[in-house]
């Protein structure tokens, strides 16, 4: 039988501790070459609306430990401006609805084991990456978080930060007052900390030991002139500005997807690779600037990779005054076999989800 798991099923078994443990195990397998993944690949096709683009995105990976997974997304993407901010928006079928699925299979017999909604798992795995980064790079005495954004990612990031450091204060900014105030109240109650919604973006940085960019901004939201010495930065929406990149003393990258077997020249550090229909035609909206690549290693000349850090070959933060940064790299594919595999095991133990006959997904005609 193949298991169908929705977001409520996933939420009932997937904690931040479970997520971080699964990811670190997967990253170690990747470093030992026991696992493999590829960068995210997007396919873009213009729609009839010149302001919108259809995007199909996939990332995949698997391990000798037992699982393979592919994560698939079907989106209409566009940009939107409100209250002085420019954001990237998306939907499937209609605004407020989204299509993201994980197909989990067995590497032993190829069996489709589960089809999983990826919304909740997505928030958890991204927050866990930032938590892993803070675990290895933030000051040991870090206790103040400056949060930019107040949505689901901002919530999973606080779950992760409070696991790896003794957080006492949160200061949050997002463009909509009621959203940031609601978020602050929720985090104060959940973690028994002081939480303040600030009026200006620059106030997020004051006294903050960890700065987290968790927005859908289409413009830079980590501003270098406001960073204080000793800050640790993570940014999963928007991006750092040029001054930030210049001020980073040490950048942690969790990993790079390996090059195709036998073709080392095709190895790329890019976070994603895009193929597009009509790429040279004038369009109102483009996900990438022609001729520009998705970012690779941030502050590459000052970067350390997680496997080197864990092996002791290189050091992480060496001073409380250093400004550090952490990012996942282009190993998203490795996340889904690791986390979805663990979700599947826990859901099976609890009898969650709905089963369909695996034979529905099989055929007797050889492909």
**In angstroms, rounded to a whole number, what is the distance separating the alpha carbons of residues 367 and 363?**
9
User: Would you state the pLDDT for residue 238?
Assistant: 77
Q: How large is the average pLDDT for residues 308-336?
A: 93
Q: How large is the average pLDDT for residues 171-197?
A: 97
- pLDDT reading at 205 higher than 90: yes
Q: How large is the average pLDDT for residues 169-188?
A: 97
H or E element that contains 22: helix 16-31
3-class secondary structure, 259: coil
The radius of gyration of the chain's CA atoms, rounded to the nearest angstrom, is 21
**What burial letters (b/e) apply to 235-249, b meaning 16+ CB within 10 Å?**
bbbbbbbeebbebbe
- pLDDT reading at 232 higher than 90: yes
Q: How large is the average pLDDT for residues 62-74?
A: 98
Q: 137-170 pLDDT, tens per residue?
A: 999 999 999 999 999 999 999 999 999 999 999 9
Q: Which residues pair with 43 in a beta bridge?
A: 56, 275
Structural domain boundaries of the chain? 140-255+298-329
Q: 84-132 pLDDT, tens per residue?
A: 667 788 999 999 999 999 999 999 999 999 999 999 999 999 999 999 9
What percent of the chain has pLDDT above 70?
95
Task: Give the list of residues 6+ apart from residue 321 with CB closer than 8 angstroms, or none.
Answer: 229, 230
User: Would you state the pLDDT for residue 278?
Assistant: 85
Give the strand pairing for 194-197 and 169-173.
Answer: parallel
Positions of E strands within the chain:
2-5, 35-37, 40-46, 53-63, 67-82, 85-91, 99-106, 112-117, 144-148, 169-173, 194-197, 210-213, 232-235, 250-255, 272-276, 303-305, 324-329, 354-356
- pLDDT reading at 80 higher than 90: no
User: Would you state the pLDDT for residue 288?
Assistant: 54
**In angstroms, rounded to a whole number, what is the distance separating the alpha carbons of residues 348 and 331?**
27
CA distances from 347 to 6, 19, 353 (A): 11, 14, 7
**In angstroms, rounded to a whole number, what is the distance separating the alpha carbons of residues 191 and 207?**
19
> What DSSP assignment string belongs to 284-350?
S--SS-TTPPPP-STTGGGEEEHHHHHHTSS-----TT--EEEEEES-HHHHHHHHHHHHHHHHHHH
Nearest to 218 by CA among 76, 88, 101: 88
- pLDDT reading at 289 higher than 60: no
Q: Which residues pair with 256 in a beta bridge?
A: none
Q: Which CATH class is domain 140-255+298-329?
A: alpha beta
pLDDT-derived band at 293 (thresholds 50, 70, 90) equals: low
- pLDDT reading at 208 higher than 60: yes
pLDDT-derived band at 221 (thresholds 50, 70, 90) equals: confident
User: Would you state the pLDDT for residue 237?
Assistant: 78
Please state, rounded to an integer, the average pLDDT across all residues of the chain.
93
Q: How large is the average pLDDT for residues 350-365?
A: 96
Task: Give the list of residues 6+ apart from residue 218 with CB closer than 8 angstroms, or none.
Answer: 79, 86, 87, 88, 238
């Amino acid at each position: 039988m193949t298991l169908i798991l929705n977001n409520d099923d996933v939420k009932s078994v997937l904690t931040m501790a479970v997520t971080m443990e699964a990811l670190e195990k997967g990253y170690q397998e990747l470093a030992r070459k026991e696992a493999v993944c590829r960068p995210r690949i997007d396919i873009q096709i213009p729609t009839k609306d010149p302001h919108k683009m259809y995007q199909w995105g996939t990332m995949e990976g698997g391990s000798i430990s037992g699982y393979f997974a592919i994560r698939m997304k079907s989106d209409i993407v566009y940009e939107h401006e409100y209250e002085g901010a420019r954001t990237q928006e998306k939907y499937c079928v209609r605004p407020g609805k989204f299509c993201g699925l994980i197909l989990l299979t067995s590497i032993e017999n190829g069996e489709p084991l589960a089809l999983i909604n990826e919304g909740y798992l997505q928030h958890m795995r991204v927050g866990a990456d930032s938590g892993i980064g803070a675990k290895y790079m933030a000051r040991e005495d870090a206790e103040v978080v400056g949060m930019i954004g107040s949505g689901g990612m901002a919530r999973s990031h606080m779950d992760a930060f409070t696991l790896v450091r003794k957080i006492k204060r949160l200061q949050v900014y997002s463009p909509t007052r009621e959203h940031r105030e609601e978020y602050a109240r929720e985090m104060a109650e959940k973690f028994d900390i002081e939480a303040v919604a600030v009026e200006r973006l620059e106030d997020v940085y004051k006294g903050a030991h960890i700065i987290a960019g968790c927005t859908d901004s289409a413009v830079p939201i980590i501003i270098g002139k406001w960073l204080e010495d000793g800050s640790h930065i993570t940014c999963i929406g928007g991006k750092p500005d040029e001054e930030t990149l210049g001020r980073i003393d040490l950048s942690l990258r969790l990993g790079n997807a390996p090059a195709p077997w036998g073709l080392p020249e095709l190895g790329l550090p890019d976070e994603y690779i895009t193929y597009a229909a009509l790429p040279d035609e004038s369009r109102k909206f483009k996900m990438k600037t022609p001729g520009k690549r998705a970012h690779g290693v941030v502050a590459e000349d000052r970067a350390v990779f997680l496997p080197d850090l864990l092996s002791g070959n290189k050091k992480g933060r060496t001073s409380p005054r250093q400004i550090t940064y952490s990012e996942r790299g282009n190993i998203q594919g490795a996340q889904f076999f690791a986390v979805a595999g663990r979700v599947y095991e826990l859901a099976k133990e609890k009898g969650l989800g709905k089963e369909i006959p695996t034979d529905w997904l099989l055929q007797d005609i050889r492909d």
